[in-house]
Copies of this chain bind each other. A is one copy, B any other.
């Protein structure tokens, strides 16, 4: 396809994506589900699982393979920017007093689903056709374990935001636990990729690079960024030039973390956390949030669905496997985080009255629970798309 054809197609794709997203999200909210769940379902509806099943030719014409790359890049920019904005609103002060809780929830939320996923993999690896011929049992165990342990960090963030939990103890704790989970799982995935033939460098780069990035951004980066905050205060507003500087820093952060193998989402989030609070962060949110949330983010959430092939789950055996993965994911994340939060229950002080009512342990487990399968889909895309 020529660039001009791709661009015409893109305009139509985005119309369809935005329209279906809004419609399904409306239905989702109606039955009490978060809007973001609606957006993910919208992706499945316009992907090969429904639209493509009923009208394969039209679906191919609207979403030709080459155009998916453009949606992918747009989705990455969108989710990276969104997580940057989540980082900008992150209450580091609330987090510091609750490091122990965050670590406990995070570790339980990783270990339990990892163990369950690994256990399933030991069994699944014997089923022909489910894993690549080249995959060893160890690789299968590591892969399914990591995929189950991953928190779909952006999805978690959106649900927290939608439920009005941003800036509360509960929201901060869940976000921090999610961030730790996510970074750790990307590192495990890097190890899997390394064992698949990338060599040990891949894993070392991801782990050492990720730690290095985090330390630099949160120490030296934080100090340097104070000057940016001061410049905004002096100007009395976030001028286009200063916004350009922030976007340049974001691009650099996203590129660094993406290139070392731990995803732009992590780079964007930490850069946001390191931003000095005040006029700068308020203006960033005001100037970037509308377009990011309304236009770019639906690309990300529908993209998984656009690549989900529910039609592959076409016999009782596959259905059983899918159900088992789903149950294990819910149990692993849900039960483990709930137990950890309950254990630490007495040390959790929930700040605002409006959230106190929902601040029972299950409230922590809930937002961390659903995304495992979504993340699984997402990972497979990154590696498999031509």
| Contact surface of A with B, Cβ cutoff 8 Å | 2-4, 6-8, 10-12, 14-15, 18-19, 21-22, 68-70, 72-74, 76-77, 80, 240-241, 243-245, 247-248, 251-252, 254-255, 258-259, 264, 287-288, 290-295, 381-383, 385-386
Could you tell me if B6 and A72 are in contact, using CB atoms closer than 8 angstroms? yes
CB-defined contacts of A252 to chain B, threshold 8 Å: 11, 15
* CB-based contact A2/B247 at 8 Å: no
Copies of this protein, total: 2
**A159 to B247 Cα, complex, angstroms:** 23
4 interchain residue pairs of minimum CB distance = A11-B255, A287-B290, A3-B72, A15-B251
Can you name 16 extra interface pairs (CB under 8 A) apart from A2-B385, A14-B247? A3-B68, A3-B72, A3-B73, A6-B69, A6-B73, A7-B264, A8-B255, A10-B77, A11-B251, A12-B251, A15-B255, A18-B251, A21-B244, A22-B241, A70-B70, A287-B291
**Given A240-B294, A295-B247, A4-B255 contact (CB < 8 Å):** no
Most chain-B Cβ atoms within 10 A of its Cβ — which of A22, A292, A294, A383? A294
Please report the C-alpha to C-alpha distance between residue A22 and residue B8 in the assembled complex, in whole angstroms. Answer: 29
Compute how far the CA of A381 lies from the CA of B73 in the bound complex, rounded to whole angstroms: 22
Q: Provide the residues of chain B in CB contact with A69, threshold 8 Å.
A: 3, 6, 70
- Taking CB atoms, residues of chain B closer than 8 Å to A4 are 72, 382-383, 385
